[in-house]
Amino acid sequence: MPSPLYEIPVARIDGSETSLGAYAGNVLLVVNVASKCGLTPQYDGLEALYRKYKDEGLTVVGFPANNFAGQEPGTNAEIAEFCRLTYGVDFPMFAKISVKGEDRHPLYDALAGSEDISWNFEKFLIGRNGEVAARFSPKTVPEDPAVVTAIEQELAKG
């Protein structure tokens, strides 16, 4: 039975419709991102993780969100250009969504349940089975040993 996460419609940053089902069988690191945040340099670490582990089945997926202090004010096109030019982002980016409040996207309802997202760059590790395997706070950098170890453990489940 496919994971409910895989059935939730999302839009790529170019506006084309898809779902995380396109990545079924991969390990996913889902991150709500922002371009004007003190944590924005985490894009470097996220891209490094993606490049290091993508051939083993890791996909980093970025969901821009403007829920915290207006730190993602740009359009999808502006966000895509910023990420590509400033951080060389090659991992999949998606259209801007809301990750908290009354208009929270169903993806974040499924990821966080009744808990709130605390800030930009909160990370959810999704195992190959489509279930949340770990959650990391915004201040936990992508290269933190806890993140790397959790990714490697999920990848090893092949």
The domains located in the chain, with CATH, are: 4-156 (3.40.30.10)
pLDDT digits (tens, 9 = 90+) for 46-102: 999 999 999 999 999 999 999 999 999 999 999 999 999 999 999 999 999 999 999
138 CB-near residues (< 8 Å, 6+ apart): 39, 118, 119, 120, 121, 122, 123
**Residue of 11, 37, 110, 148 marked catalytic:** 37
Supply the angle between the helices 145-156 and 42-53 in degrees, to the nearest 10. 30
Dihedral class, residue 14 (left if φ above 0, else alpha if ψ from -120 to 50, else beta): alpha
Burial class (CB in 10 A: 0-12, 13-18, 19+), 113: exposed
Assess contact for 47 and 89: CB atoms under 8 A. Answer: yes
* Extended strands (E) in 12-82: 17-19, 27-33, 58-64
Q: Encoding tokens for residue 59?
A: 């996909």
Tell whether the model's pLDDT for residue 2 goes beyond 80. no
Q: Any catalytic annotation for residue 37?
A: yes
pTM: 0.97
